[in-house]
Structure 1
């Protein structure tokens, strides 16, 4: 059966799905998303390699503000999630007209909110490297890079809303293909701006910005003009004015995610502050190590995207047992894939680090911390996919609280205790322990707390 036929079975409460059909549907939705996520990682690694070959100071400047960039991006994507999860629920309930209305409201609200985030970013950009305790040599480039990233927030908002809405309607191929295209464009633009035009860190930021812009335009085009369920031409009257019932659900679903991602990224910023005094080698090794580790956990995020869609549509159709079945299948698949990737990372850590930098000290330190992290990948998978299961169910508050308690109570506390005597190794040991703890906690939450509320 085709993907669309299987999705129709999800929305039809009279249809009973076999285990084979469920596995097939999870795989069909996961594979394009995993390819897109992996291409995103390749993009990040190539970007890091380009910066690494410019010099350690340039790489450290970008690495210093990267966690703050994630903070801003997390807040933006949290708001988008509040809208596109509702799209999944309405599609599951066979109410595509209401789903299209939610998309239009997401566009108007998202543009206004992301513009405010951009303004905040531009205001703090000159002060951020100082707040993070960076050495004088990297402050200028760090400020420049972060300022341009801040200007991309409206692009990120529209891209996240469009991609999420397309996936939640069952169209995973288009956002995945465009995600791959964005990665290719990013590499091409970065090579042009960084090396051909000799623009250094500024070129890295501009290249990524240009790739985001082109992808956002195409993503919105396929959403509003071509999607079978969501194209705007299906409605004679098209209103973008927000409705309170939609916004109240956005606040319920998206606010915990935005706050959680903001506060979690705040913890990452605090960890960056712990690492910054260790010097440029430690900052660069941490940054490149995070990029390389992405090869392990991005496939988990691909499975997680499928879980959000399937759980969301099952919930909209009010099919309790089907929802729980899709949840556990997705979690087990994610853990298996990331465990395998963890083995690959442990074995090939030196070669992976050598791709992104030629600095022997950075390669050595990055290899050592990556091999620490490899042991935590199954627990990380459990946390990633289970979290997305609860997002699809619209149950975000408890999961967000769990994430916050884990990263602040376990990771940051352990990092503060271990870093003074163990350096960067202590920070990554703290990360590995915390991810394993969080994965176990999320599995327990999945077992006892996932159900459809009447």
Structure 2
């Protein structure tokens, strides 16, 4: 036992070294999302509903791109663990090809469907044009967004989580400053008795979308430059022609994960569509509560990055002891962090809702669902890190199956029955979401405990 404690204590600093930059990056992104929501919320419930109505489609697009990055993460982290840096650099060259193909393809698709998205999401007719314009502006720089996601994943796969964090910090600063300039019209503010004229374009929610688009454009360019100059994983000098020896192993890992994220995100779209049909108050409360809740998943996503990278390194080095030490250290750590996050969310739900809305009904409804979901935070956090370890060793089929069962078998069918057939509201829909989270915990925990995901060294 003493020997295991020594190994575990050595693993904890490594986990934190990889996780904290990702946590800080996620925290800053969430803070900006909070600011965006608060600024848009000041424009009224219609503006909040218009922005929130397409958020699940945003997740669908972003998660699909992220899934492609998972294949590269597994391949590169395993190559680094095996000491084969040349193979890792060749994979970095293939990442450039992937960014170009995926980014351009998504740009074409978004330009074609932007007017239909609000219709598919059952958005009130009065705000469909507003929602469509917001969506199109936000995703116009899709090539740069793709570069930011995939190149950031490539850097994290070799243990460099600080560079994506630094780029993310600047992106968030740009987004916040431009929000102030683009959303509101020119106005006069009184500070310490002094009147100051603050310039503004008065673009409303289109201004929020434009600010984000510019920030993502910067992020895509900056992360590309950083990757190009990186000592360990630069694609400079590598071939950008398709390389089957790299792409096929990456696709084997990425495809199930992409199917998982696509199916899950499509489920989010259907879920949000049913909530939008409940009216503006429910849609606004759901949008704000989702935004608030996302901030409390930060420890989970940070730990998932560390879990995936370290598990991939362990597999590449054929070090079963390192893999065991990782799981023994990271699971209790994640459980503790998510329990604390759940407690804070439960305690401060009304105050957090008040940050984003002045509508008493929206605040009350959002606070109720947040306190409900706060209880399930640890149950949701554990599958996140378990999935991270499975991603690192290339086991992505089981998570795909579990996610489809949970999303479509519990959340979607349950929400449809509750809201569309029985006439129940947002609280019932979030209860179905919580049941989905608990089921995921059970499925992942049983599969993980049986050890079927572990590679044989």
The normalised TM-score by structure 2 is 0.92
- RMSD, aligned CA: 1.6
Residue pair 1:126, 1:143 contacting (<8 A) in 2 also:
yes
Give, in whole Å, the separation in 1 of the partners of 2:227 and 2:97. Answer: 15
What does 1:294-333 correspond to in 2, within 5 Å? Answer: 294-333=294-333
Tell me the secondary structure at the aligned position of residue 183 of structure 2.
helix
Which structure 2 residues correspond to residues 57-206 of structure 1 after superposition, within 5 A?
Answer: 57-195=46-184, 196-206=200-210
Among 29, 32, 49, which residue is 1:43 paired with? 32
CA contact 2:8–2:328 (8 Å) conserved in 1: no
CA 1:230–1:411 in structure 2 vs 1: closer, same or farther (change >3 Å)?
Answer: same
Q: CA deviation at 1:89?
A: 1.0
Instruction: Please list the CA deviations of residues 400-451 of structure 1 after superposition, one character each: whole Å capped at 9, or x if unmatched.
Output: 1111111111111221222244300001111111101111211222222231
Q: What's the counterpart of residue 219 of structure 1?
A: 223
State the alpha-carbon separation in 1 of the partners of residues 235 and 126 from structure 2.
51
Return the alpha-carbon distance in structure 2 between the equivalents of residues 406 and 78 of structure 1.
Answer: 19
Distance across 1 between alignment mates of 2:141 and 2:73: 20
Structure 1 equivalent of residue 192 of structure 2: none
CA distance in 2, matches of 1:133, 1:18: 54
Superimposed CA distance per residue, residues 8-28 of structure 1 (whole angstroms, 9 cap, x where no aligned partner): xxxxxxxx9822111111122
- Partner secondary structure for residue 239 of structure 1: coil
Tell me the CA shift for residue 110 of structure 1.
2.1
Paired residue total = 435
Corresponding residue for 1:335? Answer: 335
Q: What's the offset of the Cα at 1:128?
A: 1.6
Among candidates 426, 429, 435, match of residue 424 of structure 1: 426
Q: 1:382-410: CA deviations, max 9, x gaps?
A: 11111111111111111111111111111
* Distance in structure 2 (CA, Å) of the matches to 1:192 and 1:324: 51
Structure 1 position 151, deviation (Å): 1.9
For the Cα contact (< 8 Å) 1:133–1:273, is it kept in 2?
A: yes
Residue 153 of structure 1 deviates from its aligned partner by 2.2
Identify the range of structure 1 (416-425 vs 193-202) with the bigger mean alpha-carbon deviation.
416-425
Give deviations 1:246-270, integer Å, cap 9, x for gaps. Answer: 1111221111111211111111111
Once the two structures are TM-superposed, the CA of residue 84 in structure 1 deviates from its matched residue by: 2.6
In 1, Cα distance between equivalents of 2:24 and 2:340: 16
The 2-side partners of 1:33 and 1:262 are apart by 23
1:230 and 2:219 matched = no
1:161-218: per-residue Cα shift (whole Å, max 9, x none)? 2211111111121212222222222111222111211111111111111111112222
Contact 1:295/1:341, CA 8 A, preserved across alignment: no
Distance 1:199 1:65, change over 3 A: same
| Equivalent position of 1:9 in the other structure | none
**Contiguous gaps of at least 5 residues in structure 2:** 185-199
1:444 aligned onto 2:433: no
Q: Against the structure 1 CA distance between its residues 450 and 299, is the aligned structure 2 distance closer, same or farther, given a 3 Å change threshold?
A: same
Q: Counterpart of 2:195? A: none
Following the alignment from structure 1 to structure 2, what is the Cα–Cα distance between the partners of residues 418 and 411?
Answer: 10
CA distance, structure 2, for counterparts of residue 315 and residue 100 of structure 1 = 18
CA distance in 1, matches of 2:332, 2:453: 16
Runs of 4+ with >6 A deviation: none
Q: Does 1:266 align with 2:266?
A: yes
CA distance in 2, matches of 1:399, 1:356: 34
- How many Å separate the matches in 2 of 1:283 and 1:268? 13
Query: 1:331–1:381: 8 Å Cα contact kept in structure 2?
Result: no
Decide whether the 8 Å contact of 2:146 with 2:220 is kept in 1: no
SS at match of 1:94: coil
